[in-house]
Amino acid sequence: MSLGPIMIDVSGLELTDDDRKRLLHPLTGGVILFARNYRSSQQLSALTAEIRALRSPHLLIAVDHEGGRVQRFREGFTVLPPMRVLGEIWERNSSQALHLAQDCGYVLAAELRAHGVDLSFTPVLDLDYGASSVIGDRAFHAQAHVVADLAHALMLGMRAAGMGSVGKHFPGHGFVRADSHLAVPVDTRSMSEIEADDLVPFARLVDAGMPGMMPAHVIYSAVDSLPAGFSEFWLQEVLRRRLGFEGVIFSDDLSMEGAGVAGDMTDRAHAALKAGCDMVLICNNPLAADEVLNRLQWPKPALSIVRIARLHGQPHPLDMTALHEFPRYAEAVHRVAGLGHDSGDLWAQDVNNTCGKSGMN
């Protein structure tokens, strides 16, 4: 059974009968996990194994695991810093910041892969204009070239651990104050202004081979009347044609208020897929997920099926016990574990003496 275009969540620490029914639906192609789905390392591994066993090819298993305040699994995982910390280190030592970004990506992905997770929706490619509370310290920096360089390093670290990455929120969420979880943000800037700054990290990461992108639920009113995630102009003309992106386009969560302009949940899913998304997310709303699975009429485009299948994580031979004994992982954890904590400055001095051991791939 090929993977469908809908990614949904599950209710708790193990699958219920209702979860299994939804996951076996032919329109389902993936699962996104949340903090409520995690109690322990052993439990998470059992949950992902159960999800994988349901289908062949197995459902894509994803999570929002960026570091800082957006890290779903904590106990038993390395607590990663908000990405702004890496941008602050860049101001003092750009080479050190790049090494640390790659280390963060490697640790993030290696730990998730050891638990059977295929994909994390990271990195954030938005610029930090100091305006958006929902982006805030999730952004690396205010300058586009710094965001691009640090995100590329993070992507390389994730890739080395066998995991793809998803850049968000195309074409840039950092300029608007409104939170698209709660409102429909409107960015009034011109296309030329957006191209000059916000689009730069996305273009750079497309060129570097980033396999996934997620558009923003933001209306760029001088360019199109629709939010980017429902806009054929943004997804097909700009992202696909102008930037040459060939990977998977994921919608942001269709349950967010910013998606409400497209109608009910089935209308939202259809509009996002028609605009150019390969997979749409429906989170924290099982009744809406049922509605879409029962009502949506959407063929499975062959190209989307191929794109989605490529995002399955590469085989990772190490469980967490073995991972702790793996030199590259142990060294990377040593370097990133104190970032963003009160002792971070003292820790960073130690990094100056050790960051060259693992190098850049």
Active site positions, annotated: 181, 252
Cα separation values, 264 from 82, 158, 232, 253, 288, Å: 34, 36, 19, 13, 9
Residue 294, φ and ψ in degrees, nearest 5: -85, -30
Nearest to 97 by CA among 144, 154, 138: 154
Which residue carries 């730069």 as its tokens?
200
Tokens of 295: 């009502």
Which residue carries 């990506």 as its tokens?
105
CB 29 within 8 A of CB 6: yes
Nearest to 180 by CA among 112, 140, 228, 111: 228
CA angle 329, 333, 339 (to 5 degrees): 155
Tokens of 37: 């789905």
Nearest to 129 by CA among 120, 118, 138: 138
Q: Containing H/E element for 141?
A: none
Torsion of CA 84, 88, 91, 92, to 10 degrees: -150
SS3 content of the chain, % helix, strand, coil (to 5): 45, 15, 40
Rounded CA-CA distance 332/355 in Å is: 9
Tokens of 215: 């558009």
Q: How many CA atoms lie within 13 A of 165 on its CB side?
A: 32
- Could you tell me which residues are beta bridge partners of residue 355? none
